[in-house]
Chain A
Amino acid sequence: ETGVTQTPRHLVMGMTNKKSLKCEQHLGHNAMYWYKQSAKKPLELMFVYSLEERVENNSVPSRFSPECPNSSHLFLHLHTLQPEDSALYLCASSQDVGTRNTEAFFGQGTRLTVV
C-alpha cells in the first residue's frame, strides 16, 4: 500500500450518469494530482491541487470536475461522459508541488468504463 486510497476500484457508468471518484491520502502531503491512463497513450495529467487550491488544469473537458475539500481528499466528479473517457484514473500525492526531488505516491486507480 502506498498510503493513497482510491474508490471505487471499478466503475461502469452510462453516458447520462453522474458519478464521483474519491481519493484519500494520509501521508501529510500538500499536493494531489489526477492522471488519466489510456491504453497505448502516455500518462495524461489532468489536475493539480496544492493546499486545496487548483494550480493546474490541463485543458480537461468540463464534464470532469475536480474538488479538493481538504489536503487529504480529492474528488473527480463525472457527468455526461463519452465512451472515449473510459480509462484508468489515477490519483497521486506528493510532499508539495515545489519540492521537486520527492517522488509521487499513486493510488491503485479507478478503472472507468463508459457505456
Chain B
Amino acid sequence: AQSVAQPEDQVNVAEGNPLTVKCTYSVSGNPYLFWYVQYPNRGLQFLLKYITGDNLVKGSYGFEAEFNKSQTSFHLKKPSALVSDSALYFCAVRDGSGGSYIPTFGRGTSLIVHP
C-alpha cells in the first residue's frame, strides 16, 4: 500500500522568508511524486513532479522540491515567500513500478504568508 504524510496542518511564514512544506511517502516500488496547490474555492493546480533523475525539481511560481530517497521525503520549498503563495498544498504519490495506479494524496498543508 502507498501513503503520503504531510505532518503539518499549517505553516506560517513571513513574506520574503524561505518556506518549506513537508511531505513524506511510502510506496513499494519507485515513487512518482507530485505537488499541487489549491487556492480558495478552486481546484488543484499542478506545481511540479519528480519521476527520475535530478533530486531537485523546479516547478511553477518559483517553487522547487527536493527528493530524498533515504528519508522518503519530498519537501516543497521556495527561497522567498509571497503573500500570494498563501494556499493549500497537497503532496501526492503514485507507484511507478506497479501496484495501484491511483494516486494517493496527503491531507494538505495550509500555507499562510504574513505581510
A interface residues with partner B (beta carbon < 8 Å) = 2, 4, 6, 41-43, 45, 48, 56, 88, 90-92, 97-98, 100-101, 103-109, 111
Contact = CB atoms under 8 A, between A and B. Distances in A.
A35 to B, nearest CB: 9
B22 interface: no
Contacts of B103: 104
B101 A106 contact: no
B43 A103 contact: no
A100 B101 contact: yes
- Among A41, A56, A97, A101, the one with the most B-chain Cβ atoms within 10 Å of its Cβ is A101
A87 to B, nearest CB: 12
- Among B43, B96, B106, the one with the most A-chain Cβ atoms within 10 Å of its Cβ is B43
Interface string B10-48: 000000000000000000000010101000011111100
Nearest to B49: A103
Interface residues on B, range: 20 to 34
Interface string B70-108: 000000000000000000001000111000011101111
B42 A109 contact: yes
Contacts of A42: 105-108
A104 B47 CA distance: 11
Contact of A100 (B32, B46, B106, B107): B32
Given A43-B90, A100-B96, A101-B51, A106 B43 contact: yes
Interface in B41-65: 41-46, 49, 51
B51 A106 contact: no
Nearest to A111: B41
B44 A90 contact: yes
A97 to B, nearest CB: 5
Contacts of B36: 103, 106
Contact of A106 (B44, B96, B107): B44
A2 B43 contact: yes
